[in-house]
Structure 1
């Protein structure tokens, strides 16, 4: 963690000290109670309030042209009348040229999450009264300068921070009756010094702040699984995938406090494994000016922090990345799963974002992505496994753990395991639209 912070600090320092372009997108915008009706308070010039928790601003052609190859994004959140840790995000929104305005739920808008952060416990009457977050988003240089993309879409940056003022109204001096929760600033710094430009020419938004759990938001009943398909009309090389996720659930035994391994698969091949957290939160103690049960009154050891924490109030969330040398044209499936997640008392969620960049011989548009509405149940099973999907099932094939094919059904949405011994098996499921994915089944 300390090394990562040092690298980010050096990265931003190098930007500011060299020939640097600074682009200020949002300055000291005030955010309001996320549960209240959208306020009618004046909006800073050039901004649009999408709701109390999110502002958006269109990037001008001059600004897009000015971006250099190495880009740092700085988010600064200021304390107002929310003294708890909250989630915030930065999104790049691609809005069709034919639209001069849009809403947060507009189906025509393509959106990718480019940064996520956790606010500290802040008392606005104590210093420091703001917290900075810095990200290396140099990969977006290709997006900002893509003429084909810019001819179809206008590019907007959205800064989101959801807050509520109820605790601060009684705990923080000067907050009685107020519903302003945070202030937010979004700034880019860019330079060509030490930069190497890639030649990505396509962008695939796959998941944007998607809610995932094992009780009412999953693609496999009883499991924490998200399955998404995307189509490539032409082969893609150097496909870079960017993943942001955080587990939440502050109840006793909640997912915020228990570290779980996450697995990501592309076309049934495991490509990313990680466990959130595992870092010391001590570097961010200084920003937590409101007493709280996370930091306590005294410094904690590295072992104390890493035994349970998934993220730190006051820190940015890691952007994880993996690269595939090549992807063929046609349908592909991304599967993300957290097998040991419990969601005690059916509370909490994992919030998951994924997007892809790559290179094709043909300039690609931003592609429509669909989340496969599939339930696979029951699991474990004593006999039949059912596949429920809006798309008809073409075939289901059963394999043992050694990979030997045992049986296969066609144009049926279930398969019988009653004649097989207890243990672990794998289903290979093909839907009629060409979507293919595997799923682990336990025979009891």
Structure 2
């Protein structure tokens, strides 16, 4: 098929006879030891327009021309090439919503959503194949790229994240002694060129790669359980409301959650909406990419039943993007809850990173306010009062218990929990700038 190459503002766009648009955001970007100090830009430069936030995290802004060229569908292609990490690691593709015109940003101070997650294979860079492809269908992302309300206030930056560690490869892989580079990564968005309107798009980031486990304060509704409740507000009626959810189970210690398949349950306003158990598919199609010997694949093929008995995911495979359709969602307060009741987290190890956002159609009230601000709730835990220190005055607060029941409302910067039972509560705060946040607080 004949291709025509157009160069617009220094960015390459490929159009086929079917008007397909391809934007390569990162090409063979090199990731480094995730535990090491940030590598020096002088000796390890980055391409123009790219920010290296950490050794495992790069970011680049999508230009107005790139966003305008995208159509109504979206495919995300990732290619990971081996350097000097021969273990299975986690990688992510994220969007960061950065105030318009910013040339840099702090990842901790802007809103995010996770678009895609994947696991690298055990790769020896000296044995073919030395790279693995991943493909994600993400048509809903096309509406985010075209949302005029978002684009009026924010630039959209793409984050590419692959955490790697070189220490085993330094000893086990020829040519890796003393090296700290771990993987090369290429990230591409592919779309049609159809024009469409996203004026009614609604987007609410709700949870970004926050770990779920049963032993850390704030990782779950209550220590000893593996469930998280998120209280949120729909500012208007939303049609075609859909939660977009990414989870993966980690913990490679003996008896760890990585090797135990658990039922996951998702509830909306108390009603069960999704029941799933990760894994259950054969990892044999990905054996070809696992060129470094490892205990997961072993020396000989496993049966489908063997893989289904322990695999939550396969090294070299994408992590599924799960959608939870709700349909019509009325304006007002709602709850999202995810539970993994059987999870053990042996030895207080392991975690389940949860990413979640809500998308739908909501007319003029199309975008949650992403403006970031500084605030702090202290002391937390508390015996009585919690003070809200913030750069914008408190307009209103609501305290909920862990089953979503409203316990207290007020308009001050002090929240009195003195009459509450000991436990964990959710505080939703609306500031005068209309920014809303939800935090867990503990009454001790």
Give TM-score, length-normalised by structure 1. 0.80
User: Which secondary structure does the structure 1 equivalent of 2:239 belong to?
Assistant: strand
- Give the Cα–Cα distance (whole angstroms) in 2 for the partners of residues 274 and 76 of structure 1: 28
Please provide the CA RMSD for this pair: 3.3
1:51-70 alignment runs, 5 A limit: 51-70=54-73
200 and 141 in structure 1: CA distance in 2 versus 1, 3 angstrom threshold: farther
The answer on 1:95 being equivalent to 2:98 is: yes
Q: CA deviation at 1:411?
A: 9.0
User: Corresponding residue for 1:384?
Assistant: none
- Choose 265-274 or 316-325, whichever is displaced more: 265-274
Unaligned segments of structure 2, at least 5 residues: 1-14, 378-382, 387-396, 404-416, 431-435, 437-444
Q: Find out whether 1:330 has 2:332 as its counterpart.
A: yes
What is the DSSP-based 3-state SS (H/G/I as helix, E as strand, rest coil) of the residue aligned with 1:304? Answer: helix
* Kept after mapping to 1: 8 A contact 2:70/2:191: yes
> Cα offset for 1:432?
8.8
Distance 1:331-1:145 versus aligned 2 partners, 3 A rule: same
Check whether the contact 1:148–1:363 (CA below 8 A) recurs between aligned residues. Answer: no
Q: How many residues align?
A: 385
Distance 1:341 1:20 in 2: 44
Question: How far does residue 19 in structure 1 lie from its aligned partner after superposition?
Answer: 2.7
For 1:353-399, what per-residue CA distance to the aligned partner results, in whole angstroms no more than 9, with x for missing partners?
011111112232234699xx9xxxxxxxxxxxxx99968868899xx
**In 1: Cα distance, 2:336 partner to 2:149 partner:** 26
Aligned pair in 2 of structure 1 residues 345, 178: CA closer, same or farther (>3 Å)? same
Instruction: Give the CA deviation at 1:152.
Output: 0.4
CA-CA distance at 1:17 after TM superposition: 7.7
Deviations 1:108-167, CA, capped at 9 Å, x for gaps: x11000000000000000111010100011111111111111010000111100000000
What is the rounded CA distance, in whole Å, between the counterparts of 1:46 and 1:293 in structure 2?
A: 40
Contact 2:98 2:105 (8 Å CA) reproduced: yes
> Counterpart of 2:77?
74
Corresponding position: 1:152 with 2:153: yes
Compared CA separation, residues 54 and 17, structure 1 to 2 (3 A): farther
Partner Cα separation in structure 2 for residue 39 and residue 300 of structure 1: 41
Secondary structure at the counterpart of residue 108 of structure 2: coil
Q: Which residue of 2 aligns with 1:212?
A: 212
Superposition pairs of residues 221-300 of structure 1, within 5 angstroms: 221-300=223-302
Partner of 2:408: none
Cα distance between partner residues in 1 of 2:419 and 2:273: 31
What is the deviation of 1:33?
A: 0.2
Kept in 2, the 8 Å contact 1:246–1:351? The answer is yes
Name which of 30, 43, 46 aligns with 2:49: 46
Distance in 1 separating the partners of 2:288 and 2:215? 37
1:440 corresponding residue in structure 2? none
Equivalent pair of 1:255/1:342 in contact (CA under 8 Å): yes
| Alpha-carbon shift at residue 90 of structure 1 (Å) | 0.2
Match of 1:341 in 2: 343
TM-score (norm 2): 0.80
Unmatched runs of 5 consecutive residues or more in structure 1? 1-14, 374-386, 398-409, 416-428, 436-444
